[in-house]
């Protein structure tokens, strides 16, 4: 740990910060491996089978990152010159460095969202499926569940089913960015396969709240996963003896999935404490999982100043917009750290409310 971080009490910048536990490291060290470009890594094959089955799809493909899994998903559905439609806070639009445009010639349009909530009517109104030789055709709608920049928002299953039905009726595919679908599953009890049934392809990440150091998967039909395998290699993501990484994911699914509920409870605890001193900063009912987005402007803060002040008091967060900051709970944050974060955030927001 660097000197700058030595005094940190609660590092809530992201749930990607988790470090592999000793038991996870041991599972990695002893994993059987082979060359995965040849399709011969038994641990990768087992993980792919496990995740495809969990999500109710035919097959899955291991990828180094969630961004690559998303980019493979949209690449399969959208030809160069076509577009995808999503919401304006979507990770695939805001945080993947324009990859859909750069790598696949895909353009994108988005509808405004509150808290990242899926708006099927808005998506359908934007989509153009009979544009002929004049308008860009929409080939795919992307939905994110849970929604990162929206504040860990869980999409209602009914809305996702509605999206799938209406998108398919117009010849469009649905890609689900399920980097944190595990959180939605644990928070609602909805089976992963019910979410999986709402999309043609789904990306899931092992490297967020589940606590693996690396790894994501794309799931879909066998045909699509064969195509995705070709595109993964083309994108530079063909990996060799990566059973040691897949083993971390298998360990995480077995031992660190249910505990996501603890992250949700701690996040909710702080949301309620903040709302009690400053109801304009957050509505606890809109906090669904492990991500707390606070609106700090009504209390007289800029997001950057707020994050600096919290950081000076040992609570690290992230600026998500001029008025908004984000704090994320994960495996490496316990009750004492949560209590400290609660004290600091309520103090800062009460002081100028």
Q: Both tokens of residue 46?
A: 């087992």
Q: Where are the alpha helices (DSSP H) in the chain?
A: 22-29, 42-55, 66-77, 91-94, 99-104, 120-126, 148-151, 157-169, 181-188, 192-196, 222-234, 243-255, 260-277, 303-312, 335-351
Compute the Cα dihedral for 310, 311, 312, 313 and give only its sign: positive
- Contact between 18 and ligand PLP (CB under 6 A)? no
Q: Is 183 in the site for ligand PLP (CB under 6 A)?
A: no
What part of residues 145-164 is at the interface with ligand PLP (CB under 6 A)? 148
Among 9, 21, 50, 65, binds ligand PLP (CB under 6 A): 65
- Say if residues 138 and 171 touch (Cβ distance below 8 Å): no
* 70 scored as a contact of ligand PLP (CB under 6 A): yes
- Residue 205 sits in the site that holds ligand PLP (CB under 6 A): yes
Residue 293's nearest CA partner among 313, 252, 321 is 321
Least distance from ligand PLP to the Cβ atom of residue 236, Å: 14
User: Binding to ligand PLP by residue 256, rule CB under 6 A?
Assistant: no
- In the region spanning residues 71 to 100, those forming contacts with ligand PLP, defined by CB under 6 A, are 91
Q: Provide the minimum distance between the beta carbon of 145 and ligand PLP in the complex, in angstroms, as a whole number.
A: 9
Q: Please, which residue, 195 or 301, has the CB nearer to ligand PLP?
A: 195
Pick 50 or 65: Cβ nearer ligand PLP = 65
Residue 13 engages ligand PLP in binding (rule: CB under 6 A): no
Alpha carbon of 74 to those of 14, 18, 142, 159, 270: distances in Å?
25, 28, 8, 20, 36
Name the residue with the smallest CB distance to ligand PLP.
66
| Identity of the residue, 147 or 229, whose beta carbon is nearer to ligand PLP in the bound complex | 147
Cα gap 285→291, rounded to integer Å? 12
CA gap 335, 338 in Å, rounded: 5
Q: Is residue 201 a contact residue for ligand PLP (CB under 6 A)? A: no
Q: Does 246 bind ligand PLP (CB under 6 A)?
A: no
How, if at all, do strands 173-178 and 291-295 pair? Answer: unpaired
Q: 189-195, long-range: CB within 8 Å, 24+ apart, which pairs? A: 190/157, 192/54, 192/55, 192/56, 193/54, 193/55, 193/56, 194/56, 194/157, 195/55, 195/145, 195/157, 195/160
* Beta partners for residue 205, in sequence order: 216
User: Among residues 71, 86, 104, 216, which is the contact residue for ligand PLP, using CB under 6 A?
Assistant: 216
Q: Please pick, from the candidates 43, 67, 113, 164, the single residue that binds ligand PLP as defined by CB under 6 A.
A: 67
Q: Work out which of 140, 154, 179, 274 binds ligand PLP, going by CB under 6 A.
A: 179
Work out whether 144 is an interface residue with ligand PLP (CB under 6 A). yes
Minimal CA–CA distance to 122: which of 70, 89, 163? 163
- Give me the phi and psi of 195, to 5 degrees please: -65, -45
Q: Which x/- pattern over 224-243 shows residues binding ligand PLP (rule: CB under 6 A)?
A: --------------------
Least CB distance to ligand PLP at residue 180 (A): 6
Angle at 181 between CA 230 and CA 127, to 5 degrees: 70
54, 55, 66, 84: residue in contact with ligand PLP (rule CB under 6 A): 66
Q: Name the segment binding ligand PLP (CB under 6 A); options: 17-25, 29-37, 66-74, 155-163.
A: 66-74
By CB under 6 A, which span of 49-57, 61-69, 251-259, 291-299 interacts with ligand PLP? Answer: 61-69
* Nearer Cβ to ligand PLP (31/205): 205
Binding residues for ligand PLP (CB under 6 A): 16, 65-67, 70, 91, 144, 148, 177, 179, 205, 207, 216
């Amino acid at each position: 740990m660097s000197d700058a971080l030595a005094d940190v009490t609660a590092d809530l910048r992201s749930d990607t910060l988790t470090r592999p536990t000793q038991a996870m490291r041991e599972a990695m060290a002893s994993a059987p491996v082979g060359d995965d470009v040849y399709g011969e890594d038994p641990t990768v094959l087992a993980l792919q089978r496990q995740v495809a089955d969990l999500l109710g799809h035919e097959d899955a493909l291991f990828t180094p990152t969630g961004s690559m899994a998303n980019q493979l998903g949209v690449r399969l559905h959208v030809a160069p010159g076509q577009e995808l439609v999503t919401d304006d806070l979507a990770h695939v639009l805001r945080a993947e460095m324009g990859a859909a445009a750069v790598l696949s010639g895909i353009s994108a349009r988005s509808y405004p969202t509150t808290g990242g909530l899926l708006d099927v009517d808005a998506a359908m109104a934007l989509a153009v499926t009979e544009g002929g030789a004049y308008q860009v055709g929409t080939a795919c709608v992307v939905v994110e569940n849970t929604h990162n920049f929206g504040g860990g928002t869980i999409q209602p299953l009914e809305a996702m089913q509605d999206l799938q039905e209406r998108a398919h009726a117009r010849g469009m595919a649905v890609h689900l960015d399920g980097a944190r679908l595990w959180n939605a599953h644990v928070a609602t009890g909805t089976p992963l396969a019910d979410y999986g049934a709402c999309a043609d392809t789904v990306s899931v990440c092992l490297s967020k709240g589940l606590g693996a150091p690396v790894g994501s998967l794309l799931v879909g039909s066998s045909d699509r996963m064969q195509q995705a395998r070709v595109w993964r290699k083309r994108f530079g993501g063909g990996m060799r003896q990566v059973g040691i990484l897949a083993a971390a994911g298998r360990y995480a699914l077995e031992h660190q999935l249910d505990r996501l509920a603890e992250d949700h409870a701690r996040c909710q605890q702080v949301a309620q404490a903040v709302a009690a001193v400053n109801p304009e900063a957050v509505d606890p009912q809109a906090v669904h999982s492990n991500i707390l987005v606070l609106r700090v402007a009504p209390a007289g803060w800029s997001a950057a100043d707020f994050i600096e002040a919290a950081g000076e008091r040992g609570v690290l967060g992230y600026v998500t917009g001029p008025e908004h900051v984000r704090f994320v709970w994960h495996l490496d944050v316990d009750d004492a750290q949560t209590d400290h974060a609660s004290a600091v955030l309520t103090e800062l927001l009460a002081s100028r409310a």
